[in-house]
Amino acid sequence: MKPTQLGIVACGALAREIETIVKINGLSHLKVRYLPAKLHNTPLDIPAAVAGELEKLAPECEQLLVAYGDCGTAGKLDQVLEQFGATRLKGAHCYAFFAGLERFDALHESEPGTFYLTDYLARQFDTLVFKPLGLERHPELLESYFGNYTRLLYLAQSDDRRLEDKARDAAKRLGLRFERLDTGFGLLETAIVKQTGKHKAAA
């Protein structure tokens, strides 16, 4: 019998959130393996990387959860899930599963020119957005990259004033209107708690 109920392969960008979910819900009987967040720069590499970790977890775990959306893999990640009998978070990306699928669709439809930040992206804005795009050295590129955007929407997983200040500063630097939406952990927490529910109740 497999001793661990749930094995999770997760994007490193979700590490803080997952560790917090595990702690506040008192979850046990799970193993989590994190993949580098930089894989989002080459999304077609995500399926193979996930498959490698699922192969390690499968012999030890009763259930397998992949803490990714489709994340630009064009359905190839779902093909990997089928091979291992695993499930993943619903939605195309973390914005959708944090906000909730229907709410995200409504947000996007109401203002397509929206640039989204999560807690992770607010924390890493300079490293992942501003500097890689060359905006620090070439501010004249700002219009080319963000000329069609109208607002920055901060999807907040936590009530951290420092992160909100970072998100507000990001909006100012990009010349976008700032808005905040408190999402909590959304479908990420729902999926993890649901699949560990039996062991949590027995603890």
User: 36, 13 in Cβ contact below 8 A?
Assistant: no
Confidence tier at 203 by pLDDT (50, 70, 90): very low
Concatenated DSSP letters of the chain: --SEEEEEEEEGGGHHHHHHHHHHTT--SEEEEEE-GGGGGSGGGHHHHHHHHHHHHTTTEEEEEEE---TTSTTHHHHHHHHHT-EE-SSSSHHHHHH-HHHHHHHHHH-SSEEEE-HHHHHTHIIIIITTTTTTT-GGGHHHHHTT--EEEEEESS--HHHHHHHHHHHHHHT-EEEEEE-TTHHHHHHHHHHHHHHHHH-
Give the model confidence (pLDDT) of 125-166 as tens digits: 999 999 999 999 999 999 999 999 999 999 999 999 999 999
Residue 149: predicted pLDDT = 97
Residue 101: predicted pLDDT = 96
Q: Which amino acid is at 51?
A: A
Confidence tier at 4 by pLDDT (50, 70, 90): confident
Residue 2: predicted pLDDT = 61
| CA-closest candidate to residue 63, choices 92, 86, 93 | 86
Residue 167: predicted pLDDT = 98
Give the model confidence (pLDDT) of 176-193 as tens digits: 999 999 999 999 999 999
Task: Specify burial of residue 165 (Cβ count, 10 A radius: 0-12, 13-18, 19+).
Answer: exposed
Residues above pLDDT 70, as percent of the chain: 96
Rounded to the nearest angstrom, the gap between the alpha carbon of residue 69 and the centroid of all alpha carbons in its chain is 8
In degrees, rounded to 5, the angle at the alpha carbon of residue 46 between the alpha carbons of residues 82 and 191 is: 60
Residue 3: predicted pLDDT = 67
Q: Residue 1: pLDDT above 80?
A: no
Give the model confidence (pLDDT) of 56-105 as tens digits: 999 999 999 999 999 999 999 999 999 999 999 999 999 999 999 999 99
Q: What pTM did the predictor assign?
A: 0.90
